[in-house]
Amino acid sequence: ETGVTQTPRHLVMGMTNKKSLKCEQHLGHNAMYWYKQSAKKPLELMFVYSLEERVENNSVPSRFSPECPNSSHLFLHLHTLQPEDSALYLCASSQEPQGRGGYTFGSGTRLTVV
């Protein structure tokens, strides 16, 4: 365990479904992130939350909706997804801005949209 827990590990959903991904960190970090990882592409930053405030949204389609109720929890709400949204979704946390350290990643959710 890395200290960042993601659930579920695998998710298959239809294009008309609504589902949510959950991330919880036990490291006392103050920043949390959602990344998308598709085959043969670099990690794509989706959202950044710092001190529970969204500080970055990298032109992500509105069918992805993040929520950060507190510094330990992060959600990604999904609705009317497309097959091209199938990917590994990674949550990460870090201590900012003082921290020089890297991210700690969760184990990821493998999402398949059918």
Partner 1 sequence: QKEVEQNSGPLSVPEGAIASLNCTYSDRGSQSFFWYRQYSGKSPELIMSIYSNGDKEDGRFTAQLNKASQYVSLLIRDSQPSDSATYLCAVKRPGNTGNQFYFGTGTSLTVIP
Residue 113's φ and ψ, nearest 5 degrees, are -105, 125
Query: Would you say 31 or 68 has its CB closer to partner 1?
Result: 31
- Taking CB under 8 A as the criterion, the residue among 40, 59, 83, 84 binding partner 1 is 40
Contact between 41 and partner 1 by CB under 8 A: the answer reads yes
108 binds partner 1 (CB under 8 A): yes
Cβ atoms of 71 and 53 closer than 8 Å? no
Q: Three-class SS of residue 85? A: helix
15 or 55, CB closer to partner 1? 55
What would the x/- binding string for partner 1 be over residues 66 to 95, using CB under 8 A?
Answer: ----------------------x-x-----
3-state secondary structure 11-79: EEECCCCEEEEEEEECCCCCEEEEEEECCCCCCEEEEEEECCEEEEECCCCCCEEEEEEECCEEEEEEE
Among 43, 63, 67, 79, which residue interacts with partner 1 (rule: CB under 8 A)? 43
The residues that touch partner 1, with contacts defined as CB under 8 A, are: 2, 31, 40-43, 45, 48, 50, 55-56, 88, 90, 96-97, 100-108, 110
